[in-house]
Amino acid sequence: MNGLGRRSPPADGSRLNLFSDSGALSHYSAKRTISNRRKRLELRRLKSRSDDHYSKKRRVGNESEDLEENRATELSLSYPSSSDRSSENDVVSTRLPEVRDSSRGVLDTCLAHGSISLIGRRREMEDAVAVEIGFLTTDDSVGFDFYGVYDGHGGSRVAHACRDRLHRLLVEEIEEEGGLLETTTSLLVDWDKVMVACFGKMDEEVNDSGRRLVAEESGLASSATVGSTAVVAVVGEEEVVVANCGDSRAVMSCGGVVVSMSSDHKPDRPDELERIEGAGGRVINWNGNRVLGVLATSRSIGDHYLKPFVIAKPEVKVIKRTRADEFLILATDGLWDVVSNEFACQVVRTCLAGRMKMKFPAFGREGKFNEDMKESRAEAAAAVLAELATARGSKDNISVVVVELNHTGKCTSL
């Protein structure tokens, strides 16, 4: 053994015996062995950390796609079958038209939309919804889409008549109106004039029909007391036109700002009150302000027995479309009585962004319906608003239409 206390290697080149004659591990050998073990352990720890990091990264990658869904709000909607409209909820599904040519660089009218009608807590379904894609097309293949929501009272006859006829009368009125000039993207239409004329003709038709029914069957004298509010929207490539008669309502979201597209016709609205009293009528507070203590809206189609106090003249609003326009909501007062414009727009914006998770367990065809809902967030938004109104205690029928206005070129994939 040398002076350093280490065993000298044997001259014959044989393996060094790590143990001393007494069986104890030499100081040099023990230190080297411990060092090697530490290196191996360190390598194992590094490998383990690398594997863990890689696995974690893979898990994060797999879960990142579902992050929004995990954070989404789950809302369970339960609706009975729509086979019996007189006693159960009626769901109107989405229709997605084909993509139209947008090579001219204008805003497309190929819009995703969804609509729903629920009977709610009423015994009878008196609402009606109309969606007519491309109801009017110019010679230059410029299309206009029509959306309407009708809230009947005293029965569903007038609301159903409006659903079936109002958009047709509008086309007839536009075609009959002289001096219409077609441009490359739109019709130069006096929308206020044609809407007022269209609503007037609709009012005449239902009142004449009611009078004929009364003449034919004396038991139908109540037909004169049937009426309906109406809020309709015509969406073209350059403009959005809204006409309202009654207390249904249209609201638009533009660049995150809520824009009221209509004003409710309530009997206590100052200008409406003045008009009613000027015509010799009265507004009586009978469970709310009502014309002659009967009708809670000051304008409607039908209601022949309340003329001239209740009129069918709509208020019309026309705005130019921009790329900041997000969506349009049309709904009956069954929604607006319990949900504000701002909150309704917030809900729709959340749904259209894909941050609302929905379930429809009561349809009996959950898979197919959920698949349809994935294709139309607009319909999901309409359904959420209707369910929200029900949850907030709405006692009326609830009808909602949601139209995406910035859905250019995405008609088949939302």
15-24 pLDDT, tens digit each: 444 434 444 4
Is the pLDDT at 41 greater than 80, yes or no? no
Mean pLDDT of 331-341: 97
Task: In whole angstroms, give the CA distance from residue 271 to residue 37.
Answer: 93
Q: Percentage of the chain surpassing pLDDT 90?
A: 54
pLDDT grade, residue 376 (50/70/90)?
confident
Mean pLDDT of 130-140: 86
Mean pLDDT of 193-219: 80
Is the pLDDT at 11 greater than 60, yes or no? no
- Helix and strand element counts for the chain (H, E): 9, 17
Lowest mean pLDDT among 80-89, 217-226, 358-367: 80-89
* pLDDT at residue number 104: 34
Is the pLDDT at 51 greater than 90, yes or no? no
Task: In whole angstroms, give the CA distance from residue 256 to residue 269.
Answer: 28
pLDDT grade, residue 67 (50/70/90)?
very low
Mean pLDDT of 4-32: 44
Domain 75-404 homologous superfamily, CATH: PPM-type phosphatase domain (3.60.40.10)
Q: Interior CA angle at 397 toward 396 and 399, to 5°?
A: 130
pLDDT grade, residue 62 (50/70/90)?
very low
Task: In whole angstroms, give the CA distance from residue 302 to residue 311.
Answer: 9
Is the pLDDT at 209 greater than 80, yes or no? no
Mean pLDDT of 35-49: 50
129 or 185: which leads in pLDDT: 129
pLDDT grade, residue 185 (50/70/90)?
very low
Mean pLDDT of 247-263: 97
Is the pLDDT at 387 greater than 80, yes or no? yes
* pLDDT at residue number 8: 45
Q: Interior CA angle at 329 toward 170 and 357, to 5°?
A: 140
Mean pLDDT of 23-50: 48
* Bond prior to 308 in cis (omega within 30° of 0): yes
* pLDDT at residue number 137: 82
Mean pLDDT of 105-111: 54
Among 82, 157, 87, which Cα is nearest to 125's? Answer: 87
* pLDDT at residue number 361: 39
Question: Residue written as tokens 């949900």?
Answer: 339
pLDDT in tens, 198-208: 999 999 999 88
Task: In whole angstroms, give the CA distance from residue 162 to residue 169.
Answer: 10
pLDDT grade, residue 88 (50/70/90)?
very low
* pLDDT at residue number 99: 33
Is the pLDDT at 172 greater than 90, yes or no? yes
Is the pLDDT at 155 greater than 50, yes or no? yes
31 or 202: which leads in pLDDT: 202
Mean pLDDT of 68-92: 36
The phi and psi torsions of 3 (rounded to 5 degrees) equal -70, -15
Task: In whole angstroms, give the CA distance from residue 248 to residue 75.
Answer: 26
Reduced to 3 DSSP states, what percent helix, strand and coil does the chain have, rounded to the nearest 5? 35, 25, 40
Mean pLDDT of 280-289: 95
Is the pLDDT at 56 greater than 70, yes or no? no
Per-chain mean pLDDT for the chain: 75
Write b or e for each residue in 73-93: b if 16 or more Cβ atoms lie within 10 A of its Cβ, otherwise e.
eebebebeebeeeeeebbbbe
Task: Tell me the domain boundaries of the chain.
Answer: 75-404
